Amino acid sequence: MSNRVELPVVDTVAVPCCPPLTERPFTAEEAETAAPMFKALGDPVRLRLFSAVASHEGGEACVCDISEVGVSQPTVSHHLKKLKEAGLLTSERRGTWVYYRVEPSVLAAMGKLLAPPAGA
């Protein structure tokens, strides 16, 4: 009997840092942490791909599930990787395909950044 344990491969997710944008001026460090998440959604093709993954059955999708955006599979893969690097998606390889999933805590934290000022 072996003591070897198969640990699951877990992607690290950049959970955002920061109070609502309306609460007090962001520090340089907070802005450096939060800006890449907004930037990742600042491209129309990436925004469509993010929405395609986020709204897909089961909350996850592989490149093989995404065809209606009108860009090639390598382009889809490239943009999904960018979204992952920004901490908005996690991924898991299963056989041939990499499945992407939206990280709900990151969505919620980005939504909190955009909370309107109290009393607005």
Residues that bind its own copies (CB under 8 A): 21-28, 31-32, 34-36, 38-48, 50-52, 54-55, 59, 68-70, 102, 104, 107-108, 110-111, 114-117, 120
Indicate the residue among 11 and 42 with the shorter CB distance to its own copies.
42
In whole angstroms, the minimum distance from the beta carbon of 101 to its own copies comes to 11
Q: Least Å distance between CB 94 and its own copies?
A: 21
Question: Between residues 33 and 77, which has the closer beta carbon with respect to its own copies?
Answer: 33
Instruction: Using the minimum distance from each CB to its own copies, give the nearer residue, 55 or 97.
Output: 55
Q: In terms of residues, how long is the chain? A: 120
45-81: string of b/e by CB count within 10 Å (b at 16+)?
A: ebebbbebbbebeeebbbbebbeebeeeeeebbebbe
Q: How far is the CB of 76 from its own copies (least distance, A)?
A: 13
Which residue, 47 or 98, has its beta carbon nearer to its own copies? 47
Cβ neighbour number for residue 34 with a 10 Å cutoff = 19
Q: Report CA torsion sign: 39, 43, 87, 115.
A: positive
89 sits in which H/E element:
strand 89-94
Please, what is the minimum distance in Å from the beta carbon of residue 3 to its own copies?
37
Contact in structure between 61 and 25 (CB atoms under 8 Å): no
